[in-house]
Structure 1
């Protein structure tokens, strides 16, 4: 009897362990989503696929600095009041289900970026400065006095930076936009993060405006619909003029041909009258002479 009970207990433990391995992973979100400035509040939310007896939010992958919530139905909220630079790190969460040993897998990591307003903002320049045509390469340069920084390029209307780059030995980074399109137009700004504290950010610097103009159209299309109408009218007039000139030449040639024909007829036509035969008396027959007849 005892071996059977032990087998049942071991079977239950194996089933429980198997169920633990397949616990759905939670997800973690940050509010506000793009970080927070020093002194402001931020909230991290661990979203659970099922009710949990215990939820943990930890600041590092080793899960050594953690906060906990008990008896959570679907979302566990962890608030950080008056954020400091030390709170700028990577967070993960996981949960435990009642009556099952072990925990779920850790959520995907979320980085909390803390903006320190005491850091000097970076400078920025745009080359070329004037409006550029579509297809042109544009260079945006960011700089600070400290050479040990990571620069980020931000575009107006987007929450996340569009490019990042380590600074060179002079504290500068050059971002190149190849063959710009109309969608690249807008304002650009820079920020940076110290290399020894990569989740602490400077405030955004001044902005530059990138203006992108369409490539000039062929001359025939410059006038738009009005130009097309003018071209059509000119073509009609030219066609009518060619027709009139052609008709004139045809009529002139026809008239010349008729005149030549009449001239040839005038020269070659002569009136012939019948020859006059002189009217003479009809000739009488010649009667030979004979002697006169004697009277009876």
Structure 2
């Protein structure tokens, strides 16, 4: 057999063997994943294929638990009870097949953010206030005089902070929303995290509400002009010419006159509609 053909066959065999021995990566979830405070209980859930395997749980690289969920289970659980500040770190899991001793990759890490209610919530301000036009730049300031740390900007409905900022030791952070649109409508709040414990958070502060007005079309756009209405006007007695008059109420003359100043009172036009005959 030619060397090139033999090399291709061996390469194919190695790829096939690698795929056959591939162990899928597990995934790790926290329950609950948000709103965890000091003293709460959090459960780590490691999801894996329905294979007989031992599951390992890690806290910042250190093995903290080793569990066997059983052959028919697709997940293993480990609970953290009476959460302390030290528990606000990253976690991941991994599993080892029971009969082959092959080990999976570790899961993607998850961060446990813990709220410490001993921290006072930050203050917040919005400029310009509340109602703005589309395209406006918005400034949101967050501050706290008691603690220093990293400030985070939250929007209600978003699971993760939308911006964060380290004010370099100061107690105020300034966030900017550039060229806002109606999609930016909503309530915004701030929190901060102590630098010593980057995943320990203050409670959320008060909210500010942003309402972005969409750009409107001109009021007269697409509206057909009204026809003038004629109202009969009484002929003054003793009119030697025997004329008949009508009172015509002037209306908007259309977009070609829109630049002219509006009259303070409705205009009245008198038109000759009949005569007594030739002299």
What TM-score results when the alignment is normalised by the length of structure 1? 0.67
- How many Å separate the matches in 1 of 2:29 and 2:69? 20
Match of 1:26 in 2: 26
What CA distance in whole angstroms lies between the structure 1 residues aligned with 2:114 and 2:40?
9
Structure 1 window deviating more from structure 2 (27-36 vs 135-144): it is 27-36
Aligned to 1:152: 152
Gap regions ≥5 residues in structure 1: 1-13, 239-247, 249-296
Supply the distance in 2 between the matched residues of 1:192 and 1:102 (Cα, whole angstroms): 43
Q: CA RMSD in A?
A: 3.2
- TM-fit CA distance, 1:188: 0.7
Higher helix fraction: Structure 1 or Structure 2? 1
Aligned to 1:200: 200
Tell me whether 1:70 sits opposite 2:32 in the alignment: no
What is the match of residue 120 of structure 1? Answer: 120
- Contact (CA 8 Å) 1:136, 1:179: kept in 2 or not? yes
Cα pair distance change 1:21/1:197, threshold 3 Å: farther
Unmatched 5+ stretches in structure 2:
1-13, 229-247, 251-271, 273-279
For residue 172 of structure 1, what is the aligned residue in structure 2? 172
Q: Which residue of 1 aligns with 2:189?
A: 189
Question: What pairs up with 1:235-246 in 2 under 5 angstroms?
Answer: none
SS of residue in 2 equivalent to 1:86: helix
Taking the aligned partners of 2:84 and 2:151, their CA distance within structure 1 comes to 22
Of Structure 1 and Structure 2, the greater strand share is in 2
Give yes or no for contact 1:147–1:172 (8 Å, CA) kept in 2: no
Secondary structure of 1:183's match? helix
Partner of 1:94: 94
Contact 2:148 2:170 in 1 (8 A): no
Q: Is the 8 A contact 2:142 2:174 kept in 1?
A: yes
Q: What's the TM-score, normalizing by structure 2?
A: 0.71
The number of aligned residues is 224
Q: CA deviation at 1:18?
A: 5.3
Deviations, residues 53-97 of structure 1 (Å, cap 9, x unaligned): 310111023xx2321211432010111222111111100100111
Task: Report the structure number with the largest CA radius of gyration.
Answer: 1
Q: Which residue of 1 aligns with 2:259?
A: none
CA deviation after TM superposition for structure 1 residue 146, in Å: 5.3
Rounded to whole Å, the distance in 1 between the matches of 2:58 and 2:20 is 20
